[in-house]
């Protein structure tokens, strides 16, 4: 585990150096699994472009859940989850576009819980990451589909550093992360 409070560029260099040191470039199968944050995909492009980029399946499904809860059809989530699993994200996008057209675009400053906003966010997420969502191919190649095990580790580290009764100066907190 590598942990740091550094900004994305520095952290990307740190990750690249550590991966090289551990022999990652020699691995037969290589994947870079991350959520949709832009900084993750910048790190992928700059330091790990030789690896297959994979959008974390759990994040993809969570956007489907939020969007489907805004649509008055109880079968929507199951349909979206099936299409995502089958690598047919374009079908999810097409259906979300229809729903967005029907309900309208969200207004500026709209609550994240507004049904128009939920649909818009999911639509944008899938349009931006569709190229990272070929889950059938990743399964055939034996690649991981989720970063859940790492995310739980991050939460554990965060709890240790940010929990109650913990007051670190930035430089001390970074030292603890490096340990």
Per-residue pLDDT band at 113 (split at 50, 70, 90): confident
Contacts of 3-6 with C-beta under 8 Å, sequence gap 24+, read 3/154, 3/157, 3/177, 3/178, 4/174, 4/177, 4/178, 5/170, 5/173, 5/174, 5/177, 6/174
Q: What is the pTM of this model?
A: 0.85
Question: 35, 59, 30: which is closest to 47 by C-alpha?
Answer: 30
Per-residue pLDDT band at 173 (split at 50, 70, 90): low
User: Which residue carries 């049904």 as its tokens?
Assistant: 115
- pLDDT for 179 equals 60
- pLDDT for 35 equals 93
- The structure tokens listed for 29 are 């199968």
Q: Considering Cα of 94, then 111, then 36, then 74, what sign does the dihedral take? A: negative
- pLDDT for 172 equals 67
């Amino acid at each position: 585990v590598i942990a740091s409070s550094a900004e994305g560029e520095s952290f990307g260099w740190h990750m690249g150096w550590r991966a090289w040191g551990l022999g990652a470039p020699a691995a037969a199968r290589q994947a870079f699994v991350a959520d949709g944050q832009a900084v993750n995909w910048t790190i992928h492009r700059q330091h790990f472009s030789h690896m297959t980029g994979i959008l974390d399946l759990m994040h993809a499904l969570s956007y489907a859940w939020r969007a489907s809860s805004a649509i008055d059809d109880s079968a929507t989530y199951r349909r979206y989850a099936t299409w995502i699993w089958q690598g047919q994200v374009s079908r999810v996008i097409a259906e979300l576009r229809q729903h967005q057209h029907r309900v309208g675009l969200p207004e500026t400053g709209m609550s994240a819980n507004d049904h128009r906003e939920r649909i818009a966010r999911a639509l944008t997420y899938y349009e931006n990451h569709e190229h990272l969502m070929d889950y059938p191919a990743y399964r055939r190649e034996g690649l991981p589909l989720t970063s859940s095990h790492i995310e739980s580790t991050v939460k554990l580290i965060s709890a240790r550093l940010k929990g109650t009764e913990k007051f670190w100066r930035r430089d001390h907190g970074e030292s603890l992360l490096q340990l």
